[in-house]
Amino acid sequence: MNIVLLGYGKMGKAIEPIALERGHQIAARIDATNRTELETLDADSVDVVIEFSSPESAVENIKTCLERGWPVVCGTTGWLSHRTEIEQLCADKKGAFFYASNYSIGVNLFFRLNKTLAKFMRNYPSYHASMTEIHHTEKKDAPSGTAITLAEGLLENLPNLNGWVEQPTDKQAQITSTDAVAIESLREGTVPGTHIVRFDSDVDRIEIAHIAHSRQGFAVGAVVAAEWVQGRTGVFSMDDLLDA
C-alpha cells in the first residue's frame, strides 16, 4: 500500500518503520509545516491515509481525505463532537473511515474486559466507578479518548450512571457523586498511556488496569487497520477488525 502519514509527530514516526517492515510505502509525510501538500498529492498515488494530527486539525484533515476518495484510519482524539458530520460525509462519498480512540490490540481487549466487569457490578450499587488516566505531558486533550471510551462502556452497562465528569486533581475538590464516572487525568513525563478503572465501596476496591510500555502496540494496530480497511466502504472501528 501507499500510505500517507497525516500528522508526523510521535505516532506518525512510530508507525512509519512498522509500515515499511510490513512491505508498504510512505507516499507522503504531512504535518502543520507542509499541510498544503495534501491538496496537491496525486489522488491515484494514495491507497490509505493514517491520521494522527491534533484535535484542532483532525476534522478538516478527514474531510479533505474523504473528498479525495482516500480511506482514512484516524487515531486523533478530542474532535468527536463532529463525528456525525464526518460519518455522513463518508456515506455521501461512499468512502471508508476507520476510527479508534486507541489502536492497541491489548487496549481493545481491555475495553471488552471493562464492559464485562461493569455487567458483573450491575447488582452491587454500593460500588462506585471511577477512573484515572496518565499520559505524557505533550498530550493535548484530557480526558484521553481511551478514557472516554472506557467511560462509555461503563455507561452502557450500569443503569445507575448517567454520565462522566472530569475529576479535579486538587484533592480538596474531589467529586463524590455516585451517578457519574469521575475521570482523573494526569500528565507525567513520557508515559505512553496508563488507564485504571476502579470500583470502590466502603469495604474494598476492585481495580483493572492497562499499562502501555511503548507506542509500538498502538502503531502496529493502526497499520493493521489500514491493511484491513482496503476495499471496504463504511464507518469502522476496532470491534469490526477484531470480530472479522
Write down the catalytic residue from 135, 140, 195, 210. Answer: 135
On whether 33 is known to bind a ligand per the annotation, the reply is no
On whether 28 is known to bind a ligand per the annotation, the reply is no
On whether 95 is known to bind a ligand per the annotation, the reply is no
Cβ 154 vs Cβ 183: under 8 Å: no
Task: Return the percent helix, strand and coil in the chain, to nearest 5.
Answer: 40, 25, 35
Residue 118 CB neighbour total at 10 angstroms = 20
On whether 83 is known to bind a ligand per the annotation, the reply is no
The half-sphere exposure of 108 on its side-chain side, counting CA atoms within 13 A, is 19
Name the maximum alpha-carbon separation found in the chain. 63
Residue 24 annotated among the catalytic residues of the structure: no
Write out the three cell numbers for 221: 494496530
Write down the catalytic residue from 82, 94, 128, 139. Answer: 139
On whether 103 is known to bind a ligand per the annotation, the reply is yes
On whether 9 is known to bind a ligand per the annotation, the reply is no
The identity of residue 188, as a single letter, is E
Q: Residues near 158 by Cβ (< 8 Å), separated by ≥ 6?
A: 118, 121, 122, 129
- Cα distance between residue 2 and residue 223, in whole Å: 12
On whether 137 is known to bind a ligand per the annotation, the reply is no
On whether 77 is known to bind a ligand per the annotation, the reply is yes
On whether 75 is known to bind a ligand per the annotation, the reply is yes
- Cα distance between residue 24 and residue 1, in whole Å: 5
Residue 135 annotated among the catalytic residues of the structure: yes
On whether 102 is known to bind a ligand per the annotation, the reply is yes
Cβ 57 vs Cβ 81: under 8 Å: no
- Cα distance between residue 244 and residue 238, in whole Å: 10
- Cα distance between residue 77 and residue 53, in whole Å: 9
Q: Radius of gyration of the chain from Cα atoms?
A: 19
On whether 233 is known to bind a ligand per the annotation, the reply is no
* Residue set of the binding site: 35, 75-77, 100-103, 136, 145-146
Binding site members for NAD(+): 75-77, 100-103
Catalytic residues: 135, 139
- Annotated binding-site residue numbers for (S)-2,3,4,5-tetrahydrodipicolinate: 136, 145-146
